Amino acid sequence: MKRIALISVFLSFFFSVSLLAQKGSNVVDEVIWVVGDEAILKSDVEGMRRDPSWSQIKGNPYCVIPERLAIQKLFLHQAAIDSIEVTDSQINAYVEERINDWVMTAGSKEKLEEYMSMPISQIREELNNRYKDEMTVNKMREKLTEDVKVTPAEVRRYFKDMSEDSLPLIPTQVEVEILVQHPRIPEEEIARVKEELRSYAERITTGSMSFSTLAILNSEDKGSKLQGGELPYMGKGELDQAFANVAFSLTDPNKVSKVVESEFGFHIIQLIDKRGDKVKVRHILRKPVVAQKDIDAALARLDSIADDIRKEKFTFEKGAMLISDDKDTKNNRGLMTNRKQTPEGERIQTSRFEMSELANTSSELARVVDGLEIGEISKPFIMTDSRGKTVCAIVKLKNRIKTHRAGISEDFQVLRGIVLNKKKEERINEWIREKQQSTYIRINEDWCDCEFEYPGWVK
């Protein structure tokens, strides 16, 4: 019952309109706003009002929600004029992540379908439509503000006369070094996984079972198994190199590849389509099972390594360079890198992680780091790495920057982002007011008595 209650709260917004129709709601639908040639229905507003996230809404929801929908219509209309589109792969990736989360919450695909009274395919279709609009609006906003810039002088002026108590609070940040050991996987276990995949390929080739069915039943790629192993159109640079080499070499959709090893495990692959420099394939992923004795052996090795570092036989940094199995950090002397995106969309790298960011990387890692003092080396522990593999690690807390009020010198990028976002919002607000004047807008008289954020709706 707890699961059903949780998923009820989580999904109510996305499918409220469908549920109202299925349950024979007494709500009589009507057009309440028209923006350009797009109508906003009373059912649209009722659906959004049932979203739990609106429980903290400030103001009358029957005023705020129609206005938010109207603003969305303005962005979508402009996006159509400017030929702004989002790719199927972008939408699909986001939708599949949401569906997988919901399946885990419900307990199974069948339970989710039972609760929603609709098949996964219909849930996926409704989510696709919703997220396509949301992503298109975001892309349009980005285009409208892409030329907005801020100078260091503007940042300094903005915060010059601000009291210390008014400055933003920067959460605790950490710098972490890591040394990883992969538990040894016996050759017989690797051979077992390969033989298992070969048996799947034979069943597909002989027609005794489809690739999609076998993927749903057996693949260990949570992101694609519910779609029968299908991946969105992807370029070579988006895929593991070994996987990409095989995927792009396939020419016959009726054939199955040989077993290929990637950083994620072992796969068989089937071509679906090629489009320009992108390929669409389905795959089945299987991972060798790591035995507890091999995990224990890796932990013991790390315990010995940590002991030698504490005795100053060599440094943690040298050990990471020479011993660590983590290719992402060993060439950086074990220092973990946080890859982030600036407000301008520029990707940057920093060695600082907020604890929430570290937890997104690995909850086990964050828990260990949270209990360390600066310079302390952890005990060996087990974690799941970014490729979904079970690994063993020790970490050293290089630095901890405690929660503090932002300062121009040490937190310039944070303050710059605040000023930049303010300027972008000013640009967006100005654009909305201009569009209000040039767009046909009609509001049902019963819905006009509102204090709108943008007063120009009622003409």
Instruction: For residue range 158-171, list pLDDT tens digits in order.
Output: 998 888 888 999 99
Separation CA 96–CA 103 (nearest Å):
10
Q: What is the pLDDT, as a whole number, of residue 23?
A: 38
Q: What is the pLDDT, as a whole number, of residue 18?
A: 42
Q: pLDDT over 70 for what percent of the chain?
A: 91
Quick one: pLDDT band at residue 4, thresholds 50, 70, 90? Answer: very low
Is it true that 170-184+291-405 and 187-286 share their CATH fold?
yes
Separation CA 40–CA 80 (nearest Å):
18
Average pLDDT over residues 55-77: 88
Reply yes or no on whether the pLDDT at 15 is more than 50: no
**Model confidence, pTM:** 0.68
Q: Could you tell me the residue ranges of all domains in the chain?
A: 2-148+423-457, 170-184+291-405, 187-286
Q: What is the pLDDT, as a whole number, of residue 265?
A: 94
Average pLDDT over residues 46-61: 73
* Strand partners for 234: 279
Reply yes or no on whether the pLDDT at 21 is more than 50: no
Q: What is the pLDDT of residues 204-262, one digit of tens each?
A: 999 999 999 999 999 999 888 888 999 988 899 889 999 999 999 999 999 999 999 99
Q: What is the pLDDT of residues 135-189, one digit of tens each?
A: 899 999 999 999 999 999 999 999 988 888 889 999 999 999 999 999 999 999 9
Quick one: pLDDT band at residue 344, thresholds 50, 70, 90? Answer: low
Would you tell me which CATH number, out of the four given (1.10.4030.10, 3.30.1360.170, 2.70.170.10, 3.30.930.10), belongs to the domain 2-148+423-457? 1.10.4030.10
433-451 burial, b if ≥16 CB within 10 A, otherwise e?
Answer: eebbeebebebeeebeebe
* 187-286: CATH number: 3.10.50.40
Reply yes or no on whether the pLDDT at 13 is more than 70: no
Instruction: List, as one string, the DSSP characters of 324-376.
Output: ---HHHHTTTTB--EEEE-TTS-EEEES-EEHHHHHHH-HHHHHHHHTPPTT-
Architecture category of domain 170-184+291-405 in CATH: Roll (3.10)
Q: Please, are residues 11 and 24 in contact by the beta-carbon 8 Å criterion?
A: no
* Strand partners for 341: 347
Separation CA 337–CA 186 (nearest Å):
31
Q: Please, are residues 285 and 267 in contact by the beta-carbon 8 Å criterion?
A: yes
Q: What is the pLDDT of residues 410-445, one digit of tens each?
A: 888 888 888 999 999 999 999 999 999 999 999 999
Q: What is the pLDDT of residues 269-311, one digit of tens each?
A: 999 999 989 999 999 999 999 999 999 999 999 999 999 999 9
Q: What is the pLDDT, as a whole number, of residue 318?
A: 96
Which candidate, 179, 223, 174, places its Cα nearest to that of 356?
174
